[in-house]
Structure formats: C-alpha cells, structure tokens
A and B are shown apart, each in its own frame.
Chain A
Amino acid sequence: MTNWKLILSIARTHLLTKFRQTAIAALGVTFGIGSYITLVGFMTGLNQMLDSLILNQTPHVHIFNEIEPSEEQPADLYTEFENSLIMIHSVKPKQSQKKIHNALALIDHLEKDRNVLAAIPQVKTQIFYISGSIELGGNLTGINAMQEVSYFNFGDYLIESEPESLENIDNAIFLGAGVAKKLSLSPGDRVQISTVKGNSFPLKVAGIFQSGIADLDNIQSFASIKTVQRILGEPENYITDINIKLKDIEQAPALANKIKKQFDLQAIDINTANAQFETGSTIRNLITYAVSITLLIVAGFGIYNILNMLIYEKMNDIAILKATGFSGTDVQFIFMSQAMIIGFVGGVLGLVIGYLLSVVIDRVPFETEALPTVSTYPINYDPWFYVIGIGFALISTFLAGYLPSRKAKNIDPVDIIRGQ
C-alpha cells in the first residue's frame, strides 16, 4: 500500500528546494531530446526530400520496347541441328519498332489492376533544335501534361509556366532550361526543331523545364503527345513508353516481372533502377539514430550523476524518513519519482524546443539550382519522433534513477544516525 500523494509531495519538495540541480538535470534531458527531435526531423526531412526527388519523377514501373538481338535464331528452330553446336557470327538486332504494340489496350488493361494508381503513356523521340545553322541534339517527349502533374509532380519542374498551356496552346513545347539558355529562348518565342528523318517544325515555347539535373535539362523538352505524334507522322496509337504509378511501391518488382513475361516488353521497376539510392538513405538514417542515441545516453548519465549526488546529500532525510515509519520501498519511490519528474519535464521541454528549432530550420531559405522545388530546408514533423522522444526520456531517466534510488532504499538508518 503506497501513498502516492505523500510520496509525490515529498519528491516535489526535494526538487523545488534543490531547484538549480533539478533544472540542470532536466536541461540535460531537454538538450538530449531537443537535439534528437531537431536532428531526426531535419535528417529524415532531407532524406524524404531526396527520396521524393527520385520517387516523384521516377515511375514505379517503366515499360518500353528495347532493341535487342533475337535470342532464338532461325537455326535453333530447325530440328536437324538439334544435337549440333551452332555458331552464328555477326548477329544483328531484330528489325523492330520502338512502338509498344497495342499500347492503348495495354494501358486499359493495366489500369484495371487494383494495385495500379495510373498508367500514363509517353512518346519519346530524338530531335534537333535548330538555331540558324546550328543543330543541337536532344530528346522530345510527348506527355499528357495534366496526368504527369498529378502522378509525377511534373508541375514542380516548370518555371514561369502552367502545365495546362501544353494542351491549350497549339504546337507548344516546354524547353529544357539548358536548351533554352543555349539558344537564348524564353517563353513566347518560337523554336525550330527537326526530326531524325529531316522534317522540321516550328514550335512555340510555352514554358521552361528544369529538373535540376544538368545533363537532362541540356537536352530534354516536352510537348503534348498529339504534337509529337504529328511531328513524327505517326497515328494516335503510337506510344513508346508507359509509366506506371502504384498504390504500394513494394509491388513494383512483381508487376514488372509479370508484364515482362506476359507481354514480351521491357519493364523496369523502381527498386532495380534505384537500388544504390536506397542504401544511401538507410545509412543516413543509421547515422541519425546513432547520434541521437548518443545524445540521449549522455543526458541519461547526467541524470544518474545528479540523482546520486542528491541522494548523498539527502542521507539524513532518508534516515529520518525510515526512522519515522517510511519503508525502503517508499524511499525508493520518492527518488524514482524525482527521476521521472525530471525526465518528464525535461522531455516535454525537449519536444517543445525540438519543435521550435525545427520550425526555425523549416523557415531558413535553402535555394539551390539542383533542387528547384525546394525553397527552405525540409523538416519531417512525424509525430512518431515525438512519441519516441518522450518515451526515451522516460525510459532513460527511469534507468538513470533506478540504481541511485535502490541505494537509497537499502540505506540503513542506524548507520546514518550513529554516524552523527
């Protein structure tokens, strides 16, 4: 039978009369938890931003037709040679087209899949940007701008332009930032392009595209699917690529495999495409947690130290309490609750300070060419960090308080009283 009200009131008196030590111990926890919240929010915020930079632009599954040599040569089919060694020199790629066969039906089929959020067609082709006598090689991709905006954040990469204009303006093109710079073009200007076959077309610059990846911005431009089909002189079912966005990214490899087998197409999933990228974020997370835990452990030792000191100073009080009827367990609870109060107050303060610091960092301008979508440092406000933070504060103060308080429990009052 423990009288918690009494124990807490004794603990409170001890803490308040030793306010300076209490404050220092609590600030130790505050510092640990505050830096944990700030650090983990900042680091995972950066990670998420870098992840999303890739994830937003990269389809979960990318389907296209690859030009490759036939695996089966006619000689393989001829039964007479079945048991012979066949040697064929100078194998050439099969005569085939980039077009995905029956693409529109395939898209319909894919969109019926429960896991698929969207399957979006593209038409890719190589072109030349013509400026006077100069021909600049590049890529033109025909897209459905509004779908690209909804599923692949295409709008984030457009400067001084609205994605709608690609559909609304006749023969509109979004020029890569590098191309626009080289050709001194800005929105509203006209640009002449020519296909590989030599046909040239005038297009209207409706906007500038900047991904932050220079190699891409120097060659890549976008137009509507219809415009590109018209330039190439191909019909409406001419589709070269299909990009799939899934509800659950984990399903990507399975779906890619299925498509490869079922439709005899190339299908690359995002995990395969960005394997090394994932390793990078895992290691960054690991470092974040290592640093945070170190901070919290240091704070824990601070609490241990201060409680030890407090108990040493309170030897007399402990003896008196025990001599007047308090049990060892009562005394232990008195010191444990002091530790927990320090942990709780320090921890909550740490969460508040961590949050405030995060808000400050969140406002600090962070502008870089490489990341056109970002204007301030990114912060992840995941509530789980706050739960983990306060949990760790309580657990570490519990552990730090446990040993000293057990010592207090076992102090023999007679030893103290006799010592006077």
Chain B
Amino acid sequence: MSATTATATDAATGTKVMTYREALRLALQEELARDERVFLMGEEIGVFGGAYKVTAGLLDQFGEDRVRDTPISEEGFVGAGVGAAMIGERPVVEIMTLNFILVAMDQVINHAAKIGAMFGGEVRCPLVIRTPNGAGNQLTAQHSQSFDGWFAGTPGLKVVAPANPADAKGLLKAAIRDDDPVLVLENLPIYKEKGEVPLDPDFVTPIGRAAVVREGTDVTLVAHSFATLRALRAAAGLAERHGVSAEVVDLRSLRPLDVETVAASVAKTNRAVCVEEGWPSYGVTAELSARIQHACFDDLDAPVERVGMAEVPLPYAKVLELAAMPGEDRIAGAVLRSLGLAR
C-alpha cells in the first residue's frame, strides 16, 4: 500500500481512499467516540489487535472497558451481548470468522432474533455481530463456508454484507445505530480492497437498499459481498469477449432484501443470473430466484440462472478449492446460457 494514496484526502468530496479493513475500523472508532453505550467484545480484538487487524489500535485509544478481549467462548459472549443490549448498551461483538458463530447459533437465532416479537415489542436488542467470512485461502471445510442464507432466512434478524470500503463503513455504522440485532457479514478477501470512503461521521449506508454498481442492458447479475466482485469481473470479461452488457446489482442487505431494485433491473434486461459464495441449495440465490420469477414473470426471457459454491464441504487442495468456488468463468457460462449463447 503506498502511503500517499492511503492518506490522500479529497477535500472537495470529503472522501479518503482506504481499505475495507480501515473503513471498518473508522466506523468503529467514530461510533465508539460518538456513543458511550457502544463497546466491543471478541477474541483477540484488544492486545492482539484483532485476528484480521480490524480493531488494531482501538484498545489503546478506548481502553479495556470499551474494547474487551474475551476467552474462546462464543456462546457466552454473544449471549452477553444480547443481555447487555436488552438494557440499552450497544455491544458490537466480533466473531473471529463466521464459522465460529455456529457454536453461538442458539444465542443468535433463538435469543437475539426472538426478543422483539416474542415479548411484544416490550424490549429491544440493539446488538451488532460482525464477522468475516470467505473461501479461497485453503482454510478447508470447517473454516471456509458461507451460510449467509441461514441468517437471512431468520425473522427478527437483519443481515448486511458490504462489498466495498464505503459500504463497509456505512453499513457497520447503520448497524450500530439500528435498534435491532444486525449481523454484519464482512469478507476476508475484500479486507485489503481499497476505495473512496466518505469521511462525514454521520455518513451511513441505509439498511435495506441494494445498489446498481454497473449499468448494463442484456442481463442482470445479482450478488452480495465477495460475489459482487466476482460478478463485476465477470461482467467486464463478458463485455470484452462477448460484447455482452451486464448490469450488476450489489444487494448490500440480505434481510431486509431490496427486491424492488433487483426487479427494476431485471425488467430492463429481461435476464437474471444470481451469484453467491455459499451453497446455492436453499440459499441466497434460491431466495432471489423465487422472488425474481414472481416479481418479473412477464419480463423474463430466460430462466433465472444461479451460480454458487459446489455443494461439498470445501476441500483443502488448491486445485479442488478452485474448482469448487464460483469463479468468473462459471458466472460467464451462466450468463451465456441465459442469453442462449451456450448450453
């Protein structure tokens, strides 16, 4: 990273180029400074500076009361976040990677997500859980999986998944300010990606709004998180090699889901290819396909296509891992199939 680009501030627009990781850190920093009720909990977030360095420096800046290292006890400290949130604290809990949330699922799904409805709105749970995720580094079956759809299919939770630095800052801040439990799905391969980030401390990305991140006319690619980057790369390749004009919609929020933006795009292009890093069966792309075919039945010129992780626990060997992931070639293949240009 060159120091000049990383610190270059655009005074006119009030933005700064930074990595996704730095944007998350900035969001945490601003919210910790803004609101006394905000505090962080998680494994290795303090002394160690964060397993992936998102929280680096925050312990020194805010102290142990606000930046709390925890033992390896996910069920315990996620649940502690739920309880503290119920009486008005604003805990931001880091789970080292999404995989480890599985041992805390009971607190996430059967406690945090239930509170609003089960008690008739008497008490709220403004808890944020932020956790990175992502395949591609040979971390193998227990450490590289994306079951984003499981959470997005749970009433009572909100789920956001930023795909670029600006949204990383904006969505994390929106999550912290939200009065409901919000799961912020971060992404390991995107941590180092750079982009312009608004410096306004009150900049937030609204929850429940997708964004058209590339305009096109022939087909709509719908994705979230790292799959958005794959979709953008596939779209660039399709334009270059096949003259295909692909529009890319970045969902940004999975629950609530901005079906309107997706449907408006599909109404224009008449074709949809949904992409995710997770297993497609019963997943995010399954949900998208169902909603698109219903909302856009008369607009569709081809069946909705979807691309996802091969349906195996991810193997270790690089060749196998690469084959399993929803690479740009598979996305392009699905687009060509949807256009009738390939079988």
The answer on A and B forming one complex is: no
Task: Identify the A interface with B (CB < 8 A).
Answer: none
B interface, CB within 8 angstroms of A: none
